[in-house]
Structure 1
């Protein structure tokens, strides 16, 4: 559901440390020094009219200054955000955007502003939660025509509700349907973000400092996922949402799965794998013995490469072209890497290809820093067992300005039954999945 990402205007930031200490390049705010708090607020006010992006995709408005390493630990209490309350028994009202024929049945507490994105089975509108005057994004999903859409919707809701992390999109509210019989659409109320990484890369060049901060936040959010043994499986620029403070949030968990897949689950892993080919790890296409967290790290490497020069590194037209592009740069796999591929068919395919010499990433990205190139190479290692992990990437010197092990929290482990509906042992019907989604929303 990557095309249904929330691409609009920013509303709030939950971590003032990152806004004040990093985005505005000031010292951390201390509750013991009110004069410094005032100075920070004044500094922020001076920049409050600086727009991160124009609302038009073709904008060339420059980015605000990237954040810097904090000078000391911030002790300022974190502000809390009042979430819109659940609306249990409100009369259904139809909100229709003036020039678009799209009905949003979300009740009287929300006023629709505009359609800001749409995909295969959903539409996203910006809106205002009238009681709090908070701007939000409302994602309308119509998943019940296909069991695969139902599965993705259920994963999305369950996983986003589970994680509470600054670099993972959150659900503020879910509009509750009046009954199971009348349940035809899902409405997720989420944070309103200004744009996504895909649009940023397409409209302007990123400085090395921006690349550092965006990749750091991506890895920070990914660490939370991986610590809970969850694979995202669809990391790409359009699934990295951004706001005017350069805050980044990972979205779209419709393809996410447990890292502990049984044999049946692993067999069905590729059946649903329709993620964007350009960011897909080679082991997924070549059928290695197992799929691990390393597939997400490969995607991060592809995203970093795209940030560095504004172009996708492996824009394959199809399966064979994708592999060709990867091997053109990484070169022919070593014997160890070759025999790590479990599929004989894939081995035969690679064996039939002419020998290819590895191309140095430093030559491909001559304007990138040496540290950026080193991290890129470690993320894009052919063999997943030799690829850098998310935790190791966070400790990489390229991200030293931001790395803080005390501020990179893990997530609580998932209960083994969390993915009970998705274990591959039995295929649930659309009606069964619909009931599971209904129960999840009403819980």
Structure 2
């Protein structure tokens, strides 16, 4: 880790090199340690001297290299800014080191640092039924909030759900998965948790795609193994049908894609397995909840709100403490802008209102998250 003389960056920012990448961040963030990197950015943990605890800082990777990247970066910032809920990752700070719009290239997002994700938890320990209840309750509580804003997660899986040592949980990376992005992600495991209607492009999907994913995750928490570990889309569907049965006529009529409908009709007919036998030894209420989440017909699948009212959630459910969100304005999704225009919107979002004094940061309410 080498420090270099700072030039043309804001006062109280410093420059440091990590993994051959230059980071330029406020002095309040010290002890930067790389913890991950992906197609869309690098992430470090850091100690925030102002808040006196560790945070995660993400440096977006060349956010303005293309229109797709620019729009995705803008989407990520807008979504994070909108979220204020205990079970959903929110934004503590956003900053750029540059003094002027002309030099604006880099964006840093600061979020709470979470320890393990559900993947680590499932691998490391056998969970008690009470544990599973508490974890699933928090996922549903977070989803109720996200869905109330009109946002669909679309890519809920164990690695997108972070948990700290007190078993407190936050949902990450919501709303970022778009069909255009699918080819870019390349994560095979994603499909294991994906609702059949989104995976096979059957129809216009709704918020219950996320409930299917919760069902898959909950089954894994209960049994310690992946529910539908398909090797490809066809194998995935085969495994799903073996458990939940082939769709009835009523549901087949709802599949708008003709090719998808004739393919599903050509599959050997299978009846639904008895979930009580399949999840032997599990709490009967847990099995009943799974039964109502893992339903092919999206109109019959539970919503997050309905799932919170299920008897399995009785111990934790509190309607007075399951908040909803303000409506989220996603009209930008329909906008076809060039890179320069996205860059201008992004700059306004980073440097615009709701900022702390000193040229960086959000207001005090965000700082307390």
Instruction: Name 1:119's counterpart in structure 2.
Output: 38
Distance in 2 (CA, whole Å) between partners of 1:306 and 1:102 is 38
What is aligned with 2:144? 223
- Kept after mapping to 2: 8 A contact 1:168/1:251: yes
**Secondary structure, in 3 states, of the residue corresponding to 1:271?**
helix
Q: 1:22 matched to which residue of 2?
A: none
TM-score (norm 2): 0.86
Q: Does 1:272 align with 2:272?
A: no
The structure 2 residue matched to 1:431, chosen from 340, 353, 357, is 340
Instruction: Assess if the C-alpha contact under 8 Å between 2:202 and 2:260 holds in 1.
Output: no
Residue of 333, 340, 345 corresponding to 1:422: 333
Q: In the TM superposition, what are the counterparts of 1:17-416 in structure 2 within 5 Å?
A: 89-90=10-11, 92-97=13-18, 100-142=19-61, 143-178=63-98, 179-253=100-174, 255=176, 270-273=179-182, 276-414=190-328
The TM-score normalised by the length of structure 1 is 0.72
How far did 1:238 drift?
1.0
Q: Is the 8 Å Cα contact of residues 361 and 373 (structure 1) preserved in structure 2?
A: yes
Contact 2:95/2:351 (CA < 8 Å) preserved in 1?
A: no
**What's the CA shift for 1:193?**
1.1
User: Matches of 2:337 and 2:235 in 1, distance apart?
Assistant: 35
For structure 2, which runs of at least 5 residues remain unmatched after alignment? Answer: 1-8, 353-369
Deviates more, 1:209-218 or 1:358-367: 358-367
CA distance in 1, matches of 2:318, 2:266: 46
Rate the CA distance shift 1:430–1:351 in 2: closer, same or farther, 3 A.
Answer: same
Contact 2:191 2:199 in 1 (8 A): no
How many residue pairs align between the two structures?
A: 337
- C-alpha contact 1:280 1:299 (8 A) present in aligned 2: yes
**Rounded Cα–Cα distance in structure 2 between residues aligned with 1:201 and 1:177:** 40
Alignment partners' CA distance in 2, 1:433 and 1:236: 30
Separation in structure 2 between the aligned mates of residue 224 and residue 193 of structure 1, nearest angstrom: 20
Please list the CA deviations of residues 254-288 of structure 1 after superposition, one character each: whole Å capped at 9, or x if unmatched. 526xxxxxxxxxxxx63334572111111113434
Q: Which runs of 5+ in 1 are unaligned?
A: 1-87, 257-268
Moved more, 165-174 or 104-113: 104-113
| CA RMSD of superposed structures (Å) | 1.9
